[in-house]
């Protein structure tokens, strides 16, 4: 599998997010920062996910895609468009309930956008940022439907437990250092 890359661009307020190769957690912190910037633009109208060159996406990436869909709906009532021909990826999106959040199209010739996406500058997240991103993304996935809630419950619980233990340990170390 080709190492993953996220490419982004916009044309007249339509933002294109092109997923290439195997898109995983290591790209997601930078992607989340881009999401915040994208929604802060006054000309924002919608999002197109181009998955024609995607080979795989992990659940954290899917959680960020769902986050975009929820923010689009809250922002202007629009649904993102997903352009994808890969039956496996389409099945993955459908099985998780994305057909409720997005318009999924297998149209390879869709010229719905004229943006020329450029590689998103991605920086490897530190351990804390990565853990927070995974937790947030999976909570978003859980909010989509009961099946996702069941699927990701144990992971989210484990991450929350780990986060609480780490926070307790950090505050104990700070307290000990101040004495």
Closest Cα to residue 47, out of 143, 117, 127, 139? 117
pLDDT band at 129 (very low <50, low <70, confident <90, very high): confident
What single string gives the DSSP state of each residue in 3-33? BPEEEEEEETTEEEEEEEEEE-GGGHHHHHH
Element (H, E) at 81: strand 81-83
Please say if the pLDDT value at position 107 is more than 80. no
Parent domain of 80 = 5-178
Give the domain CATH number at 55.
Answer: 3.30.750.24
Please say if the pLDDT value at position 149 is more than 80. yes
Question: What is the per-residue pLDDT for 110?
Answer: 54
User: Which pair of tokens denotes residue 37?
Assistant: 């910037």
Number of domains in the chain: 1
Most confident of the following: 20-29, 96-105, 170-179: 96-105
């Amino acid at each position: 599998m080709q190492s993953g890359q996220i490419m982004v661009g916009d044309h007249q307020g339509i933002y294109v997010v092109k997923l290439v190769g195997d898109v995983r957690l290591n790209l997601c912190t930078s992607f989340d920062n881009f999401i915040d910037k994208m929604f802060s633009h006054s000309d924002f109208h919608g999002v197109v996910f181009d998955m024609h060159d995607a080979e795989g996406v992990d659940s954290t990436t899917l959680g960020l895609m769902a986050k975009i869909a929820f923010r689009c709906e809250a922002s202007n009532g629009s649904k993102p468009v997903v352009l994808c021909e890969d039956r496996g990826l389409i099945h993955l999106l459908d099985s998780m309930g994305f057909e409720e959040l997005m318009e999924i199209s297998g149209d390879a010739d869709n010229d719905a956008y004229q943006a020329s996406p450029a590689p998103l500058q991605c920086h490897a997240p530190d351990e804390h940022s990565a853990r927070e991103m995974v937790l947030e993304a999976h909570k978003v996935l859980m909010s989509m439907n009961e099946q996702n809630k069941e699927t990701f419950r144990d992971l989210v619980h484990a991450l929350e437990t780990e986060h609480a233990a780490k926070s307790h340990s950090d505050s104990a170390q700070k307290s000990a250092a101040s004495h």
